[in-house]
Copies of this chain bind each other. A is one copy, B any other.
Amino acid sequence: MSNELTIGRVAKGTGCNVQTIRYYEQIGLLPLPRRSEGNQRLYDDSAVQRLSFIRHARELGFPLQAIRDLISLADRPDKSCEAADAIAREQLEDIGKRLQRLQALRSELERMVEQCKGGRIADCRVIETLGDHSLCETDDHVLPKVRP
C-alpha cells in the first residue's frame, strides 16, 4: 500500500503543524511533493520520516543549518568521505556537550524532586548547575561553530 497522505495527516503524524511543513518546503528543507488533481500536496512515507527527523532535531536545539548538514549526509552517500566525516564530527562534538549539560541538569532536577518528596525545597541549585562553565570548550567562551 502506497500511503499517500495529505498535509494535514502528515502534520498529525509528525507533530509538526501544517504551516511549518509548507515553510520547510519553501526554504528547501523538504522536497516539493507531488500534487493532487486539485493542487493539494500529497506526501509519502519518506517525507514523513524526514519531517520527523527535522522536528526532533529542532527540539534538541539544532539550527536548521546543522539539520541541512545532517540531511546532506543521508542524501549524498556518494559524498567524499572526508566531508561526511567532518560534518559528523562537528555535530558529534556539539552533541557531546549537549549530553553533558543535559545530564548535569537532570541530576540537579532529580535531586530537587527528591527533596520535594520530603516536603520542602531546601536549597535549589539549578542555576549553579547550568551556570557552570566547566563544560565549555574554551576559557573565552567561543560560540559553537553551527552559529557563524
Residue ranges of A at the interface with B (Cβ–Cβ < 8 Å): 3, 5, 9, 12-15, 48-50, 52-53, 56-57, 59-61, 70-71, 73-74, 77-79, 81-82, 84-85, 88-89, 91-92, 95-96, 98-99, 101-103, 105-106, 109-110, 112-113, 116-117, 119-133, 136, 138, 140-144
Contact = CB atoms under 8 A, between A and B. Distances in A.
B13 A143 contact: yes
A144 B110 CA distance: 19
A97 to B, nearest CB: 8
A59 B119 contact: no
Contacts of A85: 112-113, 116-117
A105 to B, nearest CB: 6
Contacts of A119: 81
Nearest to A58: B61
B9 A49 contact: no
Contacts of A126: 53, 70-71, 73-74
A30 to B, nearest CB: 12
Contacts of A59: 61, 98, 101, 144
